[in-house]
Amino acid sequence: DAGVTQSPTHLIKTRGQQVTLRCSPKSGHDTVSWYQQALGQGPQFIFQYYEEEERQRGNFPDRFSGHQFPNYSSELNVNALLLGDSALYLCASLTWGARYGYTFGSGTRLTVV
């Protein structure tokens, strides 16, 4: 049974560009959350998607946007990249309403130069 799959694993972008990261949730999960983990820090919540709608959002600017597809997979888009956006982006999936049982992916390492 596949867990959470994220792509790509590594990415290098230039400041000002746009990037799209992808996540396929664990089988049976319908809720996807995204986290940003800067080097040496704990993950910070970006947003959560369920039923193709953003349900919660953390303290991130509008440059960060997302989407969830009918098959529950999700994308994270970041516009106008800044050097400070360099981080590991983690996707986590869950069954909606479950209090715990999150499964995390291995992440996408984004480097902005």
With tokens 């989407």, the residue in question is: 67
* Residue 60 within binding range of another protein, rule CB under 8 A: no
Residues 73-112 interacting with another protein (rule: CB under 8 A): 90, 92, 94, 99-100, 102, 104-107
Q: Which stretch binds another protein (CB under 8 A): 11-19, 34-42, 68-76, 77-85?
A: 34-42
The answer to whether residues 46 and 32 touch, using CB atoms and an 8 Å cutoff, is no
Angle 41-44-48 from CA coordinates, rounded to 5°: 155
Nearest to 59 by CA among 48, 50, 49, 46: 46
The least CB distance from residue 96 to another protein, in Å, is: 8
Nearest to 91 by CA among 38, 45, 50: 45
- Residues binding another protein: what is the number (CB under 8 A)? 23
* Residue 36 within binding range of another protein, rule CB under 8 A: no
Residues at the site binding another protein, with contacts judged by CB under 8 A: 4, 31, 33, 35, 40-45, 48, 56, 58, 90, 92, 94, 99-100, 102, 104-107
